């Protein structure tokens, strides 16, 4: 199950990310070998006996009784839908948060590679729920779809679970899938075979792998990973003790939609010709950006954020993919003495289609989740 292309962050449970952002961002669609792995439990392999896997669905909805689907029937009875969507761990960039704020953060020290952009294939959850009698546009406010996987005990709970608003699942454009394929291949055991949830535009922890129970409920999932983790606690909450004793977990909403974010993957220097045919030093940078809606543009700066130049979006697919970008900026001529090292740092920031700008002032939080400070990449000259 170990993957030599990844940098291992913990062995058991298995957590790993691609070590090289240049390599990761070379591919618009992330090849399977470069997909990060995030697990709160052991990986369970159903490949030998997919027939033993059943998905149960129930709901606090009038007329809805519990039904059970064999994995194969689900595939056979519902249309296959393909969606390109980027999967991102809420802890992506956690090491950066720690570095920028000079404060310790709890949890695995993810770099900036806990992201993959995948062509998912599966069944639309909406199709399934409609067939089970969930009304298309009923009174769905404050209702939730709870996903659970009981295949293995987790670090902090007896099972893994999480929920999303029912409105997201029933949204005709929400594209929430029960996926059985990635990039045209069956899911691998590590990524949830035979069935995982795909929630485009939402953070990775809701994309429950090996999902074996779905419950429509008036309450959010009661699982640890919905209630006691994956929350952006305020800066004053400096320990789990404070979080628990002052009831912060119930006062702060569970993270759902992806934050607006950008990352620099690569910086190169070159000479740029100006109209007066002077050759000026310049840097070229590239990277990725994402949000819960489409990225409209990305800007870069080589002077610490005093001035920003537009970058070009080089890849975007549908509503839910990551955006790859590339840009160049001139830099001040190098004037350093012999033996003196000089580096140039390129920063990035992204805007989404509603005109919102990445919140680069993003603060520290105890769990080190949702970091969205400006992207940064440095080249030594
Ligand atoms: N059953 C189960 N599903 C899970 C998890 C888990 O530990 N168990 N981890 C979640 C988290 S935190 C993330 S970021 C993604 C990671 O998916 P991947 O391992 O396919 O990259 O799966 C989510 N689904
Ligand atoms: Mo995650």
Mean predicted confidence (pLDDT) in 26-45: 97
Least confidently predicted of 22-36, 102-116, 128-142, 164-178: 128-142
Mean predicted confidence (pLDDT) in 317-326: 98
* Ligand at shortest distance from the CA of 14: 1
The residue nearest atom 17 of ligand 1, judged by CA position, is: 38
Least confidently predicted of 57-71, 205-219, 361-375: 57-71
Question: Which residues does a 6 A CB cutoff place in the pocket of ligand 1?
Answer: 35-41, 87, 89, 149, 160, 191, 204-205, 207-210
Rounded Cα distance, 247 and 211, in Å: 30
- For a substitution probing ligand 1, which of 39, 162, 194, 200 has the most ligand atoms within 8 Å of its CB? 39
The residue nearest atom 5 of ligand 1, judged by CA position, is: 39
Give residue 140's pLDDT.
80
Distances in whole angstroms, Cα of residue 229 to Cα of each of 41, 178, 252, 345: 15, 24, 10, 33
Q: In CATH terms, is domain 7-230 a member of 3.90.420.10?
A: yes
Instruction: Find the 172 Cα to ligand 2 centroid distance in Å.
Output: 26
Q: Which residues of 157-179 are buried (b: 16+ CB within 10 A; e: fewer)?
A: bebbbbbbbbebbbeeebbbbbb
pLDDT band of residue 335 (cuts 50, 70, 90) is low
Instruction: Find the 74 Cα to ligand 2 centroid distance in Å.
Output: 27
Q: Tell me if 320 sits within 8 A of 85, measured CB to CB.
A: yes
The residue nearest atom 11 of ligand 1, judged by CA position, is: 205
pLDDT band of residue 381 (cuts 50, 70, 90) is confident
Characterize the bridge pairing of strands 67-70 and 54-59. antiparallel
The residue nearest atom 16 of ligand 1, judged by CA position, is: 38
Q: Do domains 7-230 and 261-380 have the same CATH topology?
A: no
Which candidate, 351, 348, 335, 338, places its Cα nearest to that of 378?
348
Decide which of 274 and 346 is more confident: 346
Instruction: Find the 204 Cα to ligand 1 centroid distance in Å.
Output: 6
The residue nearest atom 21 of ligand 1, judged by CA position, is: 37
Which candidate, 48, 10, 40, 45, places its Cα nearest to that of 148?
40
Q: Tell me if 72 sits within 8 A of 347, measured CB to CB.
A: no
Instruction: Find the 51 Cα to ligand 1 centroid distance in Å.
Output: 23
Instruction: Find the 201 Cα to ligand 2 centroid distance in Å.
Output: 14
Q: Which atom of ligand 1 is nearest to the CA of 154?
A: 7
Decide which of 137 and 371 is more confident: 371
Instruction: Find the 210 Cα to ligand 2 centroid distance in Å.
Output: 15
pLDDT per position as a tens digit, 81-100 = 999 999 999 999 999 999 99
pLDDT band of residue 328 (cuts 50, 70, 90) is very high
Q: Which atom of ligand 1 is nearest to the CA of 149?
A: 1
Least confidently predicted of 21-35, 58-72, 84-98: 58-72
- For a substitution probing ligand 1, which of 164, 182, 204 has the most ligand atoms within 8 Å of its CB? 204
pLDDT at 334 exceeding the cut of 80: no
Reduce the DSSP state of residue 215 to 3 states and report it: strand
Give residue 336's pLDDT.
60
Instruction: Find the 290 Cα to ligand 1 centroid distance in Å.
Output: 19
pLDDT at 318 exceeding the cut of 90: yes
Give residue 2's pLDDT.
83
Q: What percent of the chain has pLDDT over 90?
A: 86
Instruction: Report the sign of the C-alpha dihedral through residues 20, 23, 29, 33, in that order.
Output: negative
Sequence-distant (6+) residues with CB within 8 A of 277 are none
Q: Which CATH class is domain 261-380?
A: mainly beta
Mean predicted confidence (pLDDT) in 174-195: 98
CB atoms under 10 Å from CB of 309, counted, come to 12
Give residue 338's pLDDT.
62
Give residue 339's pLDDT.
65
Reduce the DSSP state of residue 82 to 3 states and report it: strand
- The domain ranges of the chain are 7-230, 261-380
């Amino acid at each position: 199950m170990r993957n030599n292309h990844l940098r291992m962050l913990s062995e058991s449970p298995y957590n790993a990310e691609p070590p090289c952002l240049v390599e990761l961002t070379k591919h618009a669609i992330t090849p399977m070998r470069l997909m990060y792995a995030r697990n709160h439990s052991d990986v369970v392999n159903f490949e030998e006996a997919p027939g033993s896997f059943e998905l149960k669905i129930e709901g606090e909805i009038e007329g809805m009784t519990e039904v059970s689907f064999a994995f194969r029937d689900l595939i056979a009875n519902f249309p296959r839908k393909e969606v390109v969507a980027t999967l991102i761990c809420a802890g992506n960039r956690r090491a950066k948060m720690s570095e920028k704020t000079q404060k310790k953060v709890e949890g695995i020290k993810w770099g900036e590679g806990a992201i993959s952009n995948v062509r998912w294939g599966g069944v639309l959850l909406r199709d399934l729920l409609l067939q089970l009698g969930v009304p298309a546009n009923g009174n769905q406010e404050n209702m939730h779809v709870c996903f659970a996987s009981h295949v293995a005990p987790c670090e902090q709970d007896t099972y893994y679970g999480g929920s999303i608003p029912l409105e997201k699942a029933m949204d005709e454009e929400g594209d929430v899938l029960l996926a059985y394929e990635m990039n045209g291949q069956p899911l691998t055991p590590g990524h949830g075979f035979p069935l995982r949830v795909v929630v485009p535009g939402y953070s990775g922890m809701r994309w429950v792998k090996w999902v074996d129970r779905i419950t429509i409920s008036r309450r959010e999932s009661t699982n640890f990973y919905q209630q006691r983790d994956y929350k952006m606690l305020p800066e004053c909450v400096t320990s789990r003790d404070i979080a628990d004793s002052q009831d912060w977990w119930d006062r702060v909403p569970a993270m759902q939609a992806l934050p607006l974010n950008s990352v620099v993957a690569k910086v190169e220097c070159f000479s740029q010709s100006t109209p007066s045919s002077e050759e000026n030093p310049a840097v070229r940078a590239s990277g990725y950006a994402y949000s819960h809606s489409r990225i409209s543009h990305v800007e870069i700066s080589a002077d610490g954020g005093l001035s920003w130049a537009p970058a070009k979006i080089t890849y975007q697919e549908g509503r839910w993919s990551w955006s790859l970008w590339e840009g160049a900026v001139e830099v001040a001529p190098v004037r350093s003495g012999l033996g003196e090292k000089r580096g140039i740092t390129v920063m990035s920031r992204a805007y989404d289609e509603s005109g919102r700008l990445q919140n680069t002032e993003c603060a520290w939080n105890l769990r080190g989740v949702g970091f969205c400070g400006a992207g940064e990449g440095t080249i030594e000259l």
